[in-house]
């Protein structure tokens, strides 16, 4: 028998990313986000949930760009620091020990230590209750060679991505099958 609950979020685990933004004066910020997903393959887009009154959302709204940075468990403590501090109070690049690097196409900085950086231009922001769903069009992607396999695909085992569920960080397990494994040629 299933137990019934009031409305809640149950779609877990979710990838943990660091969203880097900047204000109009060039001050940088980093936000830890777990409510993130791909939303389009052609003209690739990614959606990130951001609090309505958060500095990162205000930055994106004013400048129209951001970078989604993906790192592995090696940087878990720094990821948590960026999620537990406020950009109005501290320079998160400094306190987390991250290196800000100029992006190719947007004003927000890449986080050098993250093996994947996706430069995004704001496509749309949707107000949802206490937050916003920010959709960014991915205009440039940077991927470290160390996490690419022989075919040039991301090896998620080498990346060791952080996933999140119910206020807890997790590791991914091993890959168990490739898409289409259930199909036969007959």
pLDDT at 10: 76
Mean pLDDT of the region 44-73: 96
Q: What is the pLDDT of residues 106-160, one digit of tens each?
A: 999 999 999 999 999 999 999 998 899 999 999 999 999 999 999 999 999 999 9
Residue showing tokens 């309505």:
52
Residue ranges in the chain assigned as alpha helix (H): 55-63, 76-84, 92-96, 156-159
Mean pLDDT of the region 37-47: 94
pLDDT at 176: 86
Confidence of residue 52 (pLDDT cuts 50, 70, 90): confident
Strand partners, 171: 162
Q: Computed from CA positions of residues 148, 137, 57, 60, in that sequence, does the dihedral angle turn out positive or negative? A: positive
The model's pTM is 0.93
């Amino acid at each position: 028998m299933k137990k019934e609950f009031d409305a809640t979020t149950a779609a877990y685990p979710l990838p943990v990313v660091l969203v880097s933004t900047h204000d109009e004066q060039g001050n940088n910020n980093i936000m830890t986000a777990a409510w993130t997903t791909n939303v389009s393959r052609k003209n690739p887009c990614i959606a990130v949930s951001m609090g309505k009154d958060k500095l990162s959302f205000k930055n994106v709204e004013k400048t129209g760009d951001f970078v989604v940075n993906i790192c592995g468990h090696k940087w878990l403590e720094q990821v948590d620091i960026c999620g537990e501090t406020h950009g109005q109070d501290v320079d998160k690049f400094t306190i987390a020990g991250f290196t800000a690097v100029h992006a190719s196409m947007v004003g927000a900085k890449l986080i050098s230590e993250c093996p994947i950086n996706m430069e995004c231009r704001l496509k749309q922001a949707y107000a949802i209750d206490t937050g916003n769903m920010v959709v960014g069009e991915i205009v440039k992607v940077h991927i470290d060679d160390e996490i690419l396999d022989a075919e040039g695909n991301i090896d998620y085992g080498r990346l060791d991505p952080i996933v999140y569920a119910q206020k807890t960080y997790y590791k991914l397990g091993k890959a168990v099958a490739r898409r289409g494994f259930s199909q036969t040629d007959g």
